[in-house]
Amino acid sequence: METDEAKGDVEINKEETTSDPNPKPKTKIKPNWKRIGIGIFAIVVIILIIVLILILTKTTPTQEMTNISYSIELADGTILDSGTKSFMPGTIASSLGFETDKLDQEIEIMQEGEDKTITLEPSDAFGEYDKELVFEYVRVEEIDRINEINRTDTLTTDEFIEIFKEQPEVDKIYTLQFSQWKYKVLEVTDTKVKLSIETKIGDEIASLGYFPAEVIGITEDKIKLKLLGVDSIIPTPNGDLYINFTENKITLTLTPEIGQEMELPNFPEAIVTDMNDTHIFLDANPEFAGQKITIKVTLHEKYIEKGSTTGSATKIQGAPTMQVFIMSYCPYGLQMLKGMLPVMEKFQDKANIELRFVSYTMHGQKEEDENYRMICIREEQYSKLIPYLKCYAGSGDYESCLTQIGTDESKLNSCMESKAESYFEEDKTLNDKYDVKGSPTTVIDGQVVEIWPRSPEDIKQKLCEAFSTKPSECSETLSTENPNPGFGWGTSNQGGQC
């Protein structure tokens, strides 16, 4: 039990403590900057070590490659092809155009430095000869010079407003940007609009199909036109087209060269074997179908090739994939490419947008070379792809474009010589998978889709339909102008496919 004296002591001590008229200031603790600096330095060192470990242990993409020299010969010793190239295993036979992978199987068991002569039966080489792939094609077409078209047409009110962008007014004349005709509103009801083409005798229409035309007759319901022109010869990818005029007829005669390769609508690619006054005779069998082939092979090296950090775009998991197949000189493929480029730039970190190539060409060696050039930039210098495509689509001058964007031309030339064919195999496989029939063909998430017009906005809209959760870019409006076919940056309402 505390005594009163003790309590007093306590109270006195409290009073002394709180009533000191000159209290000593509290002591401030000074930071030990040396110790803090050492700690920060240690943290930085640890972070750098972690970064170095991540860099050193990062997996670099690799690819097995086989380097061989080869000579492909017929039974009589005729050499069809020879060279020294590197191939990915399993792609040698297909790259050389053979039907099966027997050649790959034979090379797979070879040792470095080994020479080997391999004989392929027709079924393993260029295939058996198929008589059903021999066919004929009509080379002469006659069309009438005098034609009639309807002068009047009836639209719904909604259709009229959508086309002419305003309300219809009786007797008012309307024009359209891409039409040579003028249209007069004859009648307007609650739901319908009746139009009439306004023209006069002697008016010329710049182009009606292949030919310009002159108005030679007008009634209330019909306009009579006469196609104009003079005898001429027009070069086409399938041979010269001879055009001859009589008073009432135009005769079109296609005249290819014997031995020329032709790509005709609804027919396989084929070689012209003969022709007469009315027909062209063609053979779609490979040139050396039905023949045994001998391949002399030297296996130089099997090696591992490291992938490039500037190679193909990284696949974005869970995002839509849009693959656009073109030919590099096809006017309509270039049209699609120009519409696609702003979408590629806008969505490059949101969607997988791939430039692919149709498995055949229609514009000669220059097109095959350009396809390979673009494929090599796509695969090995991907950061240069969009700048190159923008330059090329505008000018068509690949040499100045390569210089302008600063490509590694030595690396590019090496790729075109030894790797482009192997890279192209994936495009060919996708052609078969999606039954690609022409340039351009667009595939979104494995489904062929039609996109028209080929404006950036229309392409964007179709891509955005494939997102389960749409990114903010889908709400942005891109250009609605339809690019012109071919090189250059104009606009046009024309479209088609090669």
Q: Where are the domains of the chain?
A: 62-130+288-306, 131-284, 321-475
Nearest one of 234, 231, 254, 255 to 244, comparing CA atoms:
231
- DSSP letter at 93 equals H
Task: Kindly indicate the confidence band of residue 369, based on its pLDDT and cuts at 50, 70 and 90.
Answer: very high
- DSSP letter at 483 equals B
Q: Dump pLDDT digits (tens) for 75-95.
A: 999 999 998 888 878 888 877
The answer to whether the beta carbons of residues 235 and 243 sit under 8 Å apart is no
Task: Kindly indicate the confidence band of residue 119, based on its pLDDT and cuts at 50, 70 and 90.
Answer: very high
Query: pLDDT at residue 22 above 60?
Result: no
* One-letter identity of residue 451: I
Integer CA distances (angstroms), 340 to 199, 274, 343, 387, in order:
39, 42, 5, 13
Query: pLDDT at residue 116 above 90?
Result: yes
Give the span between the Cα atoms of 247 and 229, in whole angstroms. 11
Query: Per the structure block, which two tokens stand in for 90?
Result: 């399993």
Tokens 């005594």 correspond to what residue? 3
Average pLDDT over residues 480-487: 92
pLDDT at residue 462, as a whole number: 94
CATH number of 62-130+288-306: 3.10.50.40
Q: What share of the chain is helix, strand, coil (3-state, %, to 5)?
A: 30, 30, 40
| Average predicted confidence (pLDDT) for the chain | 86
The answer to whether the beta carbons of residues 97 and 293 sit under 8 Å apart is no
Which comes out higher in pLDDT, residue 311 or 379? Answer: 379
Give the span between the Cα atoms of 307 and 349, in whole angstroms. 21
pLDDT at residue 19, as a whole number: 47
Query: Per the structure block, which two tokens stand in for 341?
Result: 């480029």
Q: Dump pLDDT digits (tens) for 282-328.
A: 999 998 999 999 999 999 998 876 544 345 566 787 889 999 999 99
pLDDT at residue 34, as a whole number: 60
* One-letter identity of residue 365: Q
Average pLDDT over residues 154-161: 93
CATH number of 321-475: 3.40.30.10
Strands (E), 48-181: 62-73, 79-87, 115-120, 134-138, 140-144, 146-150, 152-156, 173-175
Which comes out higher in pLDDT, residue 279 or 303? Answer: 279
- DSSP letter at 133 equals G
3-state secondary structure of 105: helix
Q: Dump pLDDT digits (tens) for 426-435.
A: 999 999 999 9
Which percentage of the chain shows pLDDT scores above 70? 84
Task: Kindly indicate the confidence band of residue 209, based on its pLDDT and cuts at 50, 70 and 90.
Answer: low
The answer to whether the beta carbons of residues 431 and 437 sit under 8 Å apart is no
